[in-house]
Amino acid sequence: MKIRLDKYLCDMQVGSRSQVKDAIKKGKVLLNQNVCKANDTKIDPAIDLVFYDGKELVYQTLYYYMLHKPAGLVTATTDKKEPTVMDALRDLPGKNLAPVGRLDKDTEGLLLLTNDGEMAHALLAPKKHVPKTYYVLLEKSLQDVDIRRLEEGIDIGDAKPCLPAKVKAIGALEIELTICEGRFHQVKRMMEKVDNKVCYLKRISFGPLVLDEKLEKGSYRPLTEKEIEALKNRA
Ligand code: URA
């Protein structure tokens, strides 16, 4: 599909519409190795070579980010009252980004954001059973009988019991819990059913994606090609 050169440059976040027009007028844009000074030149991003300020631009329309969600943000694209995860992603390239799935306001950790609706839909499909692992700090130690109930598939009062979860004890009050569904407040409700309480919850993996330890709370980074490929395979 052909688009105008100025629109292409705006989509690539090279600058605002007026900055882009100015750059084109000043001869900073090469189209197929020739200076192009006409804003409205129609180009095909899949075929034409565009250089801006000496650098080749690679057209991208799908974007994937990993956010280390801090507590205090709601997982939504907009909210009338509360700050949302989108507030952590200011000035990002990629229009129509949205979170994939949901973390509670007080939950921290790995949140995937993308404008690849098809991938998001596939990753969230219940029958895909995409595993999510949470670090959970509990009020009390889990007993063996509790672990057995969680691992067999605990009934939390929904139409069906939960699918079997995996519990890995990592301390007296700490576990890593892997679940393959995404029910509302699922981890908290599972813990309540074994007469316990979640004091702190952090998602550490989502399918093949693992929270990057170098990402500070509240910061984000684009996924690597390898991570995108692994997600595509999982979806
Ligand atoms: N389970 C919960 O209870 N809360 C979350 O944020 C995620 C999973």
Give the model confidence (pLDDT) of 36-68 as tens digits: 999 999 999 989 999 999 999 988 889 999 999
Percent of the chain with pLDDT over 90: 87
The distance of Cα 228 from the centroid of its chain, to the nearest Å, equals 11
**Is there an atom of ligand 1 within 6 Å of 187 CB?**
yes
How far CA 124 is from CA of 120, 181, 203, 234, in Å, comes to 6, 8, 16, 11
Nearest CA to ligand 1 atom 2: 185
- Spot the catalytic one: 48, 79, 104, 212: 104
Query: In terms of DSSP H, where are the helices of 26-167?
Result: 117-124, 144-152
Q: Is the CB of 232 under 6 A from ligand 1?
A: no
- Confidence at 12, pLDDT banded by 50, 70, 90: confident
Task: Give 92's pLDDT tier (boundaries 50, 70, 90).
Answer: confident
CA atoms of 213 and 226, how far apart (whole Å): 17
Q: Report whether pLDDT(228) > 70.
A: yes
Atom in ligand 1 nearest the alpha carbon of residue 182: 8
Give per-residue pLDDT as tens, 124-146. Answer: 999 999 999 999 999 999 999 99
Give pLDDT, residue 215: 97
Q: What is the pLDDT of residue 94?
A: 67
Least trusted range by pLDDT, from 93-97, 117-121, 164-168: 93-97
Q: Which amino acid is at 42?
A: K
| pLDDT of residue 96 exceeding 90 | no
CA of 200 to the centre of ligand 1 (A): 10
104 is catalytic: yes
Average pLDDT, the chain: 94
CA pair distance 201, 211, nearest whole angstrom: 14
Would you say the CB of residue 185 lies under 6 angstroms from ligand 1? yes
Taking the centre of ligand 1 as the mean of its atom positions, its distance from the CA of residue 102, in whole angstroms, is: 8
Residues 95-109 have a mean pLDDT of: 94
